[in-house]
Structure 1
């Protein structure tokens, strides 16, 4: 039997005043005459984001949710070129340790998904360097939490730049300049416009990177590829990972807006996938990318409980039987 665990992204629709992504723009920062006071304000916002992250983890533990994506916006302006002298980790140390200890105690798998401007295959050196700086921030946050950073950061391949093969090879070339600790942190996912499952697998197999299969993206962009033909290859990319295989699940907003995520998950679409992979892996962790966040997870689980081909384990997990 295969165990399926569901997770959600960053925000809760149930917890009030619990945003982990509160921010400050650089223009707001500049309006504070005293630079030290401005930095203290940034630290206060960052600590509030971390405090709300801990609240979200407690909400997850109470709801039997074992998989959660941290927001990449925990520390506003952390990598701004005018603030590179700011030691943002020092004032956050205690809170990060508390978050990491809680996640480990309650066995909650946590990871990140940096924003789309993180481009390892960019032909522009300054974009590549900024991308590495952003990835280093994610690494330092995980290290500060005491979490093994291996395969905790999922990314897209990057820009296509109207030349797929060259863009893939540029990723390989630039990968050689990525620090080893950050390389170990990375997972890659197929996207909905630029790089298909097979193209992403090329990189994952060549560079020993786990592939996070996004089923919705595949349906939107596949060049007539049959994903089932590649599933064993996807599984094999996880052979050296300490974590269970991971995938993304979402549903189209509409036929017209097929690439956009819906508020909730279409259960029949999800089980079209699960029926194909049942028994191929002992466990699969499925990150729900739906507008209604944890509410989408709760709704999906209520629908799943009515099925005859599952055995419910708890509030977010079930066996395929």
Structure 2
């Protein structure tokens, strides 16, 4: 089993992706952006490898305007060395990657120009995966599209247009149920007709079910039948509802007890689970650490280094409890550890606790900071107490100093990221 996340790494420096608007998309600009994004992707792949993350979704925006005539660069040739290097790293780490075109890639639209753009976009996604030298087990996830007041006709259009795709695209595409139009029964029927694998999304199914009395595990079993050996291990999408937002909104983090309940109910662990969650890699590592059979306390200690100042900011009481929990070096209390983290992060921050954490961070710089930096920090603290300065402004000051003085411990700290 592999557990992974999508597109962006939270709290990992030098992994952001950049884009631009059309009017600024000159060849020189696009070359610079592609180079930058490929370096960021390589850093994410390296990060995943260090953290035993074997499943990852690559952002569709990796190559800006990749499926548009705006980008007429032969980027596969220009960046062939970088692409090969990244592909080698993916294979050598036994990582499985995927891509997921966005909501405007609609293969069954009644408008031919929309369909043509969808085909171009699918070709682009396949080209990205091909450029890494990856086999067809590295997939492109696609929704069926719209209903357009006549669902059966829309399904026929999808099937017709899918059959017209290039074989290199078809061998990569997997179909996913959505939360509005096409439930898991619809997608299984379409997938079976097209001999295309089906990805089960639990939250989409919760919102858009077919009212049949089957469990998630029943549907996962049905979807497994659509996966052939050439497609690789069956893949599913797992997410949790954000309890404070509208149905279908992803949670800020994966609630570990809820995930473990789902995990324990799976018939087989020979399955890949893509998490769709706001804190992305953080939840992936959490779930990996709580399901591993050979956990070591050192792993949790490294996690604590990243979280500690954010937890101190939210809840000094939880901070002390976690420190106490990790004292016993012969145990591996991963579930208790992450439950405490979750509980602390749900706490509302107080001004006093926020200042306390900020002053702990300042402690790394107090002996090296210039007088100007000292005055700026102290003034920001005073302004925050008086309600004139935001906590974000204080953190921005501390982050600039973290980068300026290359304070490695803080560069990895989630204090600045969540």
TM class by smaller structure: 0.7 to 0.9
Alpha-carbon displacement from aligned partner over 1:203-230 (angstroms, at most 9, x marks no partner): 1111111111101111111031324444
Per-residue deviation, 1:45? 0.7
TM-score (norm 2): 0.66
Deviations 1:107-135 (A, max 9, x none): 11111111111111111111111111111
Name which of 7, 12, 16 aligns with 2:9: 12
Shift of residue 86, structure 1, vs aligned partner: 2.9
Query: Is 1:311 paired with 2:311?
Result: no
**Shift in CA distance, 231/11, structure 1 to aligned 2, threshold 3 Å:** closer
d(CA) in 2 for partners of 1:256 and 1:231? Answer: 27
Q: 1:238-263, CA deviations, whole angstroms, 9 ceiling, x for partnerless residues?
A: 03434101001111111652210011
Match of 2:54 in 1: 66
- The residue that corresponds to 1:318 in the other structure is none
Cα distance in structure 2, aligned partners of 1:107 and 1:263: 28
Matched residues in 2 for 1:299 and 1:151: separation?
Answer: 24
Instruction: Report if the CA contact (8 A) 1:25-1:77 is conserved.
Output: no
Q: Out of 139-148 and 222-231, give the one that drifted further.
A: 222-231
Instruction: Say how many residue pairs are matched.
Output: 295
Cα deviation, 1:30-72, whole Å, max 9, x if unaligned, reads xxxxxxxx20221111011011111111111111111111111
Which one scores higher on RCO, CA 8 angstroms, separation ≥ 6? Answer: 1
Q: Check the 8 A contact 1:151/1:184 in 2, yes or no.
A: no
Bigger mean CA offset, 268-277 vs 56-65: 268-277
- 2:270 maps to 283
CA separation of 1:143/1:158 partners in 2, compared to 1, >3 Å: closer, same or farther? same
CA distance in 2, matches of 1:63, 1:6: 11
Structure 1, unaligned stretches of length 5 or more?
30-37, 316-321
Structure-1 residue corresponding to 2:77: 90
- Worse overlay, 220-229 or 196-205: 220-229
Residue number among 143, 159, 173 corresponding to 2:160 in the alignment: 173
- Within 5 Å, give how 1:221-232 maps onto structure 2: 221-225=208-212, 226=214, 227-232=216-221
Between Structure 1 and Structure 2, which shows a larger proportion of strand residues?
1
> Which of 23, 37, 40 is the matching residue for 1:27?
23
Q: Distance in 2 between matches of 1:197 and 1:55?
A: 36
In the TM superposition, 1:229-240 aligns within 5 A as: 229-240=218-229
1:149-168 paired onto structure 2 within 5 Å: 149-150=136-137, 152-168=139-155
Which of 197, 212, 218 aligns to 2:199? It is: 212
Between Structure 1 and Structure 2, the one with more helix by share is 2
Deviation at 1:277, TM superposition (A): 2.7
